[in-house]
A and B are shown apart, each in its own frame.
Chain A
């Protein structure tokens, strides 16, 4: 007998027939009828009309029938809770049944009925079930508390269910404990009152570690995850936690393994790296990771994404396991691509021959994406392992000979990178490359080829002809190609000025007059001006010796990597993005790897919460990422689809990097100041440091003078003056109340209307009352931005209502925008650059700020005090250019470029943001701050 037969009846009057069968006396017939009803329900037929008849069948001692009826009820509990509540008396009765299965079933089903009314019936049975003798019932009841909390949180707290849950934490049955923990943590997410129930300290951690050995595998995952959020107080504790977690590495459940890996990876940071224990840990980590790769492909995929992070953090763990990452021909494509990435990370001189042989094989496979990535990988090998570069190049040449279109194009793109790593070494192959000019139809490949021609123009006899041939279709080319072509021809001109004058004029006029792309036009004009005013300088700029590209341009930035290591096995590790990038309003606290305590005296300090240990970005991997200059040097060829974003700005500073200096790239902008100061961690800080030297006031944000908001005549004797200030990350409204009436005033209160930034008082207005006549009282009212938001005109308008014993007064004022600038408004240089490019040009607005005499450093300092951060500074022809970023409390980023000409007393401010509405107010802020 199969279930499918229930799905086939389509006769008319079916409901009627079923009704009769449901009311039959025979048990078997009844059961069959209920099965039919459920079958109809599954295929989407409406059988709600049978509700009373089905509920009648509930009075049975046949467990199978009972379960079927409950299945039916569960379904309608969702869509028609009011109907389901009709059966509530039966539920309550079933909660007292002698069979634990039925008791649990009843509680579970009641929890699914999401209407307020159910709560009055649910409380008592639930309380009983939480103390039931059968663990199956208790575990079901535990989850039910979370459901009830969802419907009516207050009730759960009032009825003491939280305490009952807490009791279950020490239940003898691991399954009950697991569900209690799950329920508590879910309640904690929504209710702060429950937060104290599960507090992490060494005591709880110890309990959890003990529980680890007894609970189910899924519980283990949960426990290991909680442990990973805890930072032990010293090295000894870290080691003991590690010791108790490492046995989990051999577990058959991949989730347990990865969570254990996470804990170990995190705690290893606290251990002595040269110690034997770390060495043995590193040895222990490899086998479980390798084992994951023989699991199902889906697990392999997740494991590989995590391994990618792990090898970046500690390449020694898997350095001997290269072979397991070799691609199998029957791997799904998503596994293949991930393996390829890891292969490159593990490539070293000792295994390069093997890797190269593999990659060459892959490049002849069928799947286009995979082939492309393999070709790129060969190029990356060449850049990473210098002794093998020659072999890689010859492999690439072989591949070009296959004439497979996309292989050739990929090969040319990577050969360009190889040229940039080993200049003047492999030009002999250019001839071969030139043979394939006609087949290049992808912008990136065309741009790369043009770059090569321009770069080696003096060695290619017919460079002018080649470039001219590209010029014919100039208007139709992709911007990337156009920019490249412009630069290449200018290079050619500077190298062979005699016979290419016509060509260069042609390209300059094409890019400046016939193009409406601002990037292209600007670059064209810059070259034009350079060439016409000072060709020697042009030569110095355009033909400057280019920095070599770094070996590992696609590594994840160290701070982000550290954060991701703390999120191994989570979604973040699959996306390679921090959780706040894809989950809103969750996990507000960044996770940071713990640091090893230094010596003995400092253990005190390291017990401080981890989040204070945020390290400044270490620029060892991504060298100073400013291609503003790079733009001129034409080396901003876009990143490959497979490369990560950092590739966009791969060059190192032209000047020698100061040993141990932090921001190598800062040299260009900081004019060597960072040498002087030993390398500040960031542009803003550096300038701040300068401020110190020059004895400027530090960190005093601009507070506008108090203005009269309510005049005495209007306020029936009450005069209010006020202003806004930002102190210690906190917006304050500074108010002065003056009583100009004849009688004392009491009962002050304040309220805000909805406003653009959701400002609202964070506490009640606190002033000395009564306020006697002719006296003043000041109050500082902290504000937060969690209030209701409504866009105002103008944006900064704030409507306030103030009440006192006399009347209610309405007034409106403008919030100086800078109090809404947050302390974390300092954008990473790369991000700044990318964002600047990303925001469409029409969003850019220029203002002139008149009458200001400050120099660039004073300006930076003043702005920085108000959370406008100078990210980079450079000097162009005597003008100082400051690149600045700021962030508003509502998350809007604003980028600014401030041009300061020492000769004239006015600044030029260019703003770029996605929300253009803020411009006017921002400009106002600049004026106020700079004129102050």
Chain B
């Protein structure tokens, strides 16, 4: 049984706490606060034990959600619970951050009370919780942070179709906007790749998911039609071809799997809130489109010990699509503290990030079918020559909307059921973003 749940800010402040069992004579959160303070921004292990008390935590945005217990629990379950609680908070408050927690204390107290009783999980989904919650949420303006999970970033990118704040709104609305009738469907792919110096792909993988955020009135059935030629196969032998080949699929429990096998259709009646109806993975270069190619040339600058690094980044996706927040990073050799740079176009910068010992070349936007070149000169203050190893590897970060590397598309979206006169809004978005996209230089 979980004895206590609490939320701690990055500075170690307790934002809210709920003691389910009164097991402890001394408040256990003190121990975690110290851990936060001594971690200095490094990740804290998801589970640790202190004086017989088990602590479990997940870090999201600028807060830690922590559970502790005096009895032995299944760690995976506790972490899953914390993750679930985070998603519930997100559904109810729109954004979960230090600020929004502080603004919604009463709401969170209510949620904590219904989420668990005496340390046993009770109502662990937005839909089930909704009838029991009386408080109304306070919406906090979203700060756009570059890191953290992709699904929360999604809405920042595609400003053309949806206004930025629309989807960071909570599912539980104040009475004035009760009649919002909206459905968001997102296909999000996170790409990992390792590409050797000669441009051959030594590893490429996509973890994708079809997420929906459901604000529909009534509980209509939804049908999502995917690519007709979609194949799910675990065999290692994959054929060349333009069809979408998934390695593995996991469905949300509300999805009728038969329809998927026969018609490549996801049919389901979703609960309110955000859920992932399908998650899948694709691997191998044959089944994936490479959005970028990057060539790097490292050479001596004439007549000095400095090193010249030339990076050529080419986008391979169609020209009507734009990648944003493109960043190319590589390690900063020890003896280098400054660089000079030259770019092929504006809107590009290259800076030395001393804290992470990295050089970062950033492009605000990069349209498809274009090539950018950065010529960087690393000013060597050491006496020896720089070796290429000190730079390796080059890491690429990007976000592309309207594009999936696997080719998975949503060919149709039907909301069944009759909503008389009510205007329904639905949005479909495709996003591909980098997870760990690495180019090796030698």
Contacts and interface: CB of A to CB of B under 8 A. Distances in A.
A253 interface: yes
Interface string A20-51: 00000000000000010011001000000000
Interface in A284-329: 287, 290-291, 294, 296-299, 301-303, 306, 320, 323-324, 326, 328-329
B424 interface: no
B106 interface: yes
Nearest to A330: B436
Interface stretch (A138-146, A605-613, A660-668): A138-146
Interface string A175-197: 10011001000100000000000
Interface centre among B43, B234, B392 (most CB of A within 10 A): B43
A254 B120 CA distance: 18
Contact of A42 (B16, B43, B250, B392): B16
A329 B117 contact: no
B162 interface: no
B283 interface: yes
Contacts, number: 174
B393 A574 contact: no
Given A64-B135, A298-B58, A299-B80, A143 B117 contact: yes
B438 A329 contact: yes
A78 B19 contact: yes
Interface in B415-441: 435-436, 438, 440
A391 interface: no
B236 A323 contact: no
A445 to B, nearest CB: 22
A67 interface: yes
Contacts of A175: 122
B305 interface: no
Contacts of A143: 117-118, 120
A568 B41 CA distance: 31
Interface stretch (B67-75, B165-173, B212-220, B308-316): B67-75
Given A258-B76, A290-B248, A299-B79, A64 B134 contact: yes
B337 interface: no
Given A67-B134, A252-B250, A329 B76 contact: no
Nearest to B207: A294
Interface in B17-47: 19, 22, 42-43, 45-47
Interface residues of A, number: 82
B355 to A, nearest CB: 12
A890 B77 CA distance: 35
Interface in A149-202: 175, 178-179, 182, 186
Contacts of B440: 361
A930 to B, nearest CB: 42
Interface string A235-259: 0000000000000001111110011
B47 A574 contact: yes
Contacts of B77: 218, 221, 255, 569
A250 B72 contact: no
A670 interface: no
- Is the contact region of chain B dominated by helix, strand, or loop, or is it mixed? mixed
A9 to B, nearest CB: 15
A402 B120 CA distance: 54
A613 to B, nearest CB: 24
Interface in A113-158: 114, 136, 139-140, 143, 146-147
State the 4 A-B residue pairs at the shortest beta-carbon distance, nearest first. A328-B436, A255-B77, A298-B46, A64-B134
Interface string B71-103: 011111101111100000000000000000011
A316 to B, nearest CB: 16
Nearest to A221: B77
Contacts of B107: 3
B256 interface: no
B253 A252 contact: yes
A426 interface: no
Interface in B111-139: 113, 117-118, 120-122, 124, 132, 134-135, 138
A3 B76 contact: no
9 contacts: A143-B120, A296-B83, A298-B46, A303-B76, A329-B393, A354-B202, A364-B389, A571-B74, A579-B72
Interface centre among B82, B105, B113 (most CB of A within 10 A): B105
A216 B120 contact: no
Contacts of B414: none
Contacts of A332: 43
A218 B121 contact: yes
Given A179-B117, A298-B46, 9 more contacts: A42-B105, A101-B132, A146-B118, A252-B253, A252-B279, A298-B83, A354-B202, A569-B74, A569-B75
Given A329-B438, A330-B436, A586 B72 contact: yes
A255 B80 contact: yes
Contacts of B276: 252
A5 to B, nearest CB: 9
B238 interface: no
A273 to B, nearest CB: 23
Given A101-B132, A143-B117, A301 B250 contact: no
B225 interface: no
Contact of A571 (B54, B109, B118, B194): B54
A35 B104 CA distance: 12
B134 A301 contact: no
B49 A582 contact: yes
B345 interface: no
B118 A326 contact: no
Nearest to B123: A175
Nearest to B134: A64
Contacts of A364: 389, 392
Interface centre among B72, B205, B276, B392 (most CB of A within 10 A): B72
Interface in B382-414: 389, 392-393, 395
A293 B145 CA distance: 24
A430 B373 CA distance: 46
Nearest to B203: A323
B192 interface: yes
B138 A1 contact: yes
Given A255-B80, A299-B80, A333-B43, A320 B72 contact: no
Interface string A816-838: 00000000000000000000000
A478 B412 CA distance: 71
Given A78-B22, A296-B83, A570 B74 contact: yes
A205 interface: no
A586 B71 CA distance: 10
B43 A291 contact: no
Nearest to A71: B109
Contacts of A595: none
B435 A330 contact: yes
A2 interface: yes
B43 A334 contact: yes
A302 B76 contact: yes
A331 B438 CA distance: 13
A225 to B, nearest CB: 7
Contacts of A250: 250-251
B1 interface: yes
A98 interface: no
A929 interface: no
B364 interface: no
B432 to A, nearest CB: 15
B281 interface: yes
A537 interface: no
A68 interface: yes
Contacts of B205: 323-324
Interface centre among B45, B46, B395 (most CB of A within 10 A): B46
A111 B122 CA distance: 16
A582 B77 CA distance: 19
Interface centre among A1, A67, A320, A572 (most CB of B within 10 A): A67
B252 interface: yes
Interface in A1-25: 1-4, 7
B248 A3 contact: no
A329 B395 contact: yes
